[in-house]
Structure 1
Amino acid sequence: MSDNLLAGYNLKERRNIIENHWCDFTESAIRPAQDQISQAISQSWQRSALSLNKKVTHAPSIAKTRIREEWQMSPLSIAARQEQDNMMQLAREGELVAAIADPSGCMLWSHASRHMRSRAESVNFQEGGRWDEQSIGTNAIGLAKKLRSPVTVFSSEHYQSFLHDWVCYAAPIIHPQSGECVGILDMSTTWKKHTALGQAAVTQLACNIARNLPEVSPRAELEIRALGQAQVVFRGQNLQLSKRQLEILCLLALNPQGLKLEAFHAALYGDAPISSSTLKAELSHLRHLLDGQVGSRPYRLMMPVWCDFIQVWQALHEQNVNEAFRLYQGPLMAQSESPELEEWRHCIEAVMGKLLNSCNEPELLMQQLCAKTSGNEMVRERLVELIS
């Protein structure tokens, strides 16, 4: 939100300034002034303009029966239970509506005060409502999902005009062990009741819920996610790696039999004029980070490993549509120029494309579209084909 940028104005003046920028953008595609509208909101407006071709009056929804089942079975429900009384009390006293969404932005639970109940129901801000950015444009749940950080969306910062009377505070619920976003907490009210304390309260509640989450059993000693947003977990702890180190790790995972230095150099650098000693140094550093679990002659991983790109390839080979869609979050290391990783990336994209072209289930495609933060173009194109 543009709180800091418009700190010298009262709430009504802020609302009017933002409304003017919103009108200029939606009617004439004029980008807002950077000294009055935050970059996060401006970029979200631009994404919303590309993904939404018409104005709507409420959020789309998923069947409530299915949502209730998902909520009851979710570890998030258990973790949130200890904070729900507190959230409901805050909602009543602060004339708010409290809500928890899953990682895709679909609302699983909500509790509204009298002040907000009819407002929430009228826009489907309740169980089953889809509040990802692709479905409803700029909003706090969708933006917190996209940025993986706490956000406030005030009045006309919402892309859809029917939300301009709202102010919404949201924060991602990040699992402290895996670093995974398991949900989003949101508390909303009318714009006249906006207070900076709202965001602080939601952020703290999200942290409290995260601390109550059950521990995650690792799939393997080393877990690698490189489809879309990269993440490496070693013995239950997030490992911060450079792009080159991640490329090396992926190549080691793809070649469990091991690679000799010359073959490794070709797979990683191709014809680039980079010395073998540079690769040796990179491998030595990675070996240190992995507690010595990288062997040599040939170079190989000496521990169990789980990789999303290998799992998605197996799912594609077995024509397991649901599993492939669940695992695929975007291209394999999209910026990598490693010849072997480029080949794997092209193969996965080609087979995913064939799978999408043969998929005739709009609901399945919509779920995939809502769940991902990248790699959406193929899904969106196929969905348009089915519903047009």
Structure 2
Amino acid sequence: MSYPHLDAYSRLLRGAHEAAVVGGNWPEQPRRLITASWRRSLEAGIDPEIKSAPLVYDRSHLKDARAAHPLRPLLPLLSQTLSSVAKETGNVMIVTDCDGRVLWREGCHASMSRADQIGLADGHNWSEHSVGTNGIGTALAANRPVHVYSEEHLMRVLHVWSCSAAPITDPDSGRIIGCVDVSGRARTLHPATVALVAAAAKLAETQLALRMHERDERLRRRYDSLRSGPGVLLSATGRVISGDPAGDLGNRVHLGEQPQRVPGRRMILRDGTVARLEPFSDGFLLHHVSSTATPILTLSFLGLGPPSATFDGHDRSLSLRHAEILALLALHPYGLTAEQLSCHLYGDDGNPVTIRAEIHRLRSQLGDAIAAKPYRLVCSVEADFLDLRRHLAAGDPRSLARAYTGPLLVRSESPEIRRERDELEAQVRACLLRHGAPEDLWAYAQTLNGRDDYEVLERLAALAPADPRSAAARSRLT
């Protein structure tokens, strides 16, 4: 980023900042990255007048967080790359975790003293949802290196600061694990610093990749020593290392946020088959389970009729709440915690204790089909709404029109079910209007939302007058 007339740009920013803070029209907008960040920050309720980032770690918790963080072994590398530059130029180097919480800080002592006044120090949180637009938080939110100059910060107290930051992604998990940042006085921190910071982040990622490959090789040697039917070798994060030559599993098997090292854990793969997960050294072995030995849970949740389920060949009666739970578990095959299920079902007012009680009652009907920690379905699942998703992905209007009999769990008020229901409805309607033949549109017109869909009925009314579908559509339109 380069601004040859910083004074003019500062005046533009001050005008835009004042307008943004009071909710007025911005006379001129800053660059797109900053505009998007300001909007996110203001929507999150950030007060531009706050004076400091919040402290989230006391000294004892900070020590534990540092010891457990994967960037700790790379701190000497980052320090060697950036700390000396920061000291020489009167700036500060910061390393945070994935949530923008400052774990380490080095640099010029005078600048660190000034940084203490705004909470740019160990244990403070610099995410966007805590302090608004800033180098660390915006780099993490945008997942890219950024330079934030002076009045581009949302907090007024930061208008004398500038910062260059870059996120660091773990090549093993594919997730952002931290951020490296250099901050200093607005007019002394050159915008080109962001290139140096981005290079340091890439260097850290390269070192993480080398360590990952070393772990993989040790794990592969142990795997190769097995003599018969070893299954598919996975890393601790679910990366496929060996045993899947056809690539059926892709690059990664999703094991959940914190995979449980419990022998014999069952899980559903992306193709709907069931597999057994076994701990193996520092990783896992995945064994496919014969489908003939696995009971099938069949769910019919679309349309106006009551939700129905069949398990292992036997019909099961379902309350709406139990149908909602099964729908959510089917939509999240890798599992949900009680807290997540509670939020999906009840919103912010949910109680995980209620969910645990409902799961207990549901398991009395389905037995071992529902596993815990996290809650997940460990049987083969066939569901009309999952079939609908597959037809949507294939873009097949004929199959889609036959499969869609109405909204998903139409009586459900669960926030997550309503979101999924609305999304399915919008996608089905859009696909049929774009690609559907008259018979497909007529089939949709028989559903709850299709009966009075003006655009669908107009299409049908335009058919030949002798066509009975045209007459019916014209009747509904009038």
TM-score range, shorter chain: 0.5 to 0.7
Query: Against the structure 1 CA distance between its residues 80 and 317, is the aligned structure 2 distance closer, same or farther, given a 3 Å change threshold?
Result: same
Rounded to whole Å, the distance in 2 between the matches of 1:48 and 1:133 is 6
Residue 44 of structure 1 corresponds to: 37
Matched, 1:68 2:86: no
Match of 1:311 in 2: 335
Match of 1:252 among 247, 267, 272: 272
RMSD (CA atoms) = 4.3
**Contact kept in structure 2, 1:177 and 1:236, CA below 8 Å:** no
1:295-306 to structure 2, matched below 5 A, reads none
Instruction: Give 1:70 shift.
Output: 0.9
Matched position secondary structure for 2:104: strand
Q: How far apart are the structure 2 equivalents of 1:119 and 1:137?
A: 19
Structure 2: stretches of 5+ with no match in the other structure: 216-234, 242-247, 255-267, 276-288, 304-330, 343-351, 356-371, 376-384, 390-407, 418-478
Deviation at 1:80, TM superposition (A): 2.6
Amino acid at match of 1:310: Y
C-alpha distance in structure 2 between counterparts of 1:250 and 1:46, whole Å: 36
1:195 maps to 2:219: no
Query: Contact conserved, 1:178 with 1:233, CA < 8 A, in 2?
Result: no
CA contact (8 A) 2:15 2:26 kept: no
Which secondary structure state, in structure 1, belongs to the residue aligned with residue 162 of structure 2?
strand
How far 1:340 sits from its partner (Å)? 7.7
CA offset digits 1:118-145 (Å, max 9, x no partner): 2210011111110111110111111111
Which of 19, 26, 29 matches 2:24?
Answer: 29
Name the % identity.
22
1:209 deviation in Å?
1.3
CA displacement 1:151-194 (0-9 Å, x = unmatched): 11101110100000111101010123432111011111111113
| 2:109 equivalent to 1:91 | no
SS of the aligned residue for 1:196 comes to coil
User: 3-state SS of the aligned residue for 1:49?
Assistant: helix
Matched, 1:150 2:145: yes
Question: 1:52, 1:135 within 8 Å by CA — same for their partners in 2?
Answer: no
Deviation at 1:236, TM superposition (A): 5.8
One-letter identity of the residue aligned with 2:52: H
2:236: which partner in 1?
Answer: 218
**Between Structure 1 and Structure 2, how many residues are aligned?**
275
Select the residue among 45, 48, 52 that pairs with 1:58.
Answer: 52
Structure of greater Rg: 2
Shift in CA distance, 23/191, structure 1 to aligned 2, threshold 3 Å:
same
Q: Rate the CA distance shift 1:104–1:257 in 2: closer, same or farther, 3 A.
A: farther
Alpha-carbon distance in structure 1 between the residues aligned to 2:249 and 2:98: 19
After superposition, the C-alpha distances for 1:212-234 in whole angstroms (9 at most, x for unaligned) are: 224273344569xxxxxxxx984
**Matches of 1:151 and 1:233, distance apart in 2:** 35
Cα distance in 2 for residues equivalent to 1:316 and 1:21: 39
The superposition leaves residues 46-78 of structure 1 with CA deviations (integer Å, 9 ceiling, x where unpaired) of 111121253310000122321122112222111
> Within 2, Cα distance between the matches of 1:326 and 1:119?
45
Deviation track 1:281-321 (CA, whole Å, cap 9, x = no partner) reads xxxxxxxxxxxxxxxxxxxxxxxxxx975232478689699
Counterpart Cα distance in 2 of 1:116 and 1:38: 28
Q: Secondary structure at 1:310's aligned position in 2?
A: coil
Mapped to 2, the partners of 1:30 and 1:207 lie a distance apart of: 39
Q: 2:113 aligns with which of 102, 115, 118?
A: 118
- CA 1:310–1:24 in structure 2 vs 1: closer, same or farther (change >3 Å)? same
Answer whether contact 1:98 1:186 (CA < 8 A) is retained.
yes
Give, in whole Å, the separation in 2 of the partners of 1:31 and 1:98.
33
**Higher share of residues assigned helix:** 1
What residue in structure 2 maps to residue 131 of structure 1? 126
Matches of 1:346 and 1:211, distance apart in 2: 47
Secondary structure of the corresponding residue to residue 95 of structure 1: coil
Unpaired runs of 5+ residues, structure 1, are 224-231, 239-247, 272-306, 328-336, 351-388
Which of 160, 170, 173 matches 2:155?
160
1:14/1:257 CA distance change after superposition, 3 Å: farther
Q: Structure 1: how far apart are the matches of 2:32 and 2:130?
A: 21
Q: In the alignment, residue 142 of structure 1 is paired with which amino acid?
A: G
Partner SS for 1:42? helix
Deviation of 1:257 after TM superposition, in Å, equals 7.2
Distance in 2, matches of 1:45 and 1:325, equals 38
CA spacing shift, 1:211–1:25, aligned 2, 3 Å: same
The secondary structure found in structure 2 opposite 1:65 is helix
CA change 1:98–1:44 in 2 (3 A) is same
Contact 2:55-2:119 at 8 Å conserved across structures? yes
Distance 1:193-1:166 versus aligned 2 partners, 3 A rule: same
Q: From 56, 72, 76, give the equivalent of 1:77.
A: 72
Q: Distance in 1 between matches of 2:413 and 2:180?
A: 37
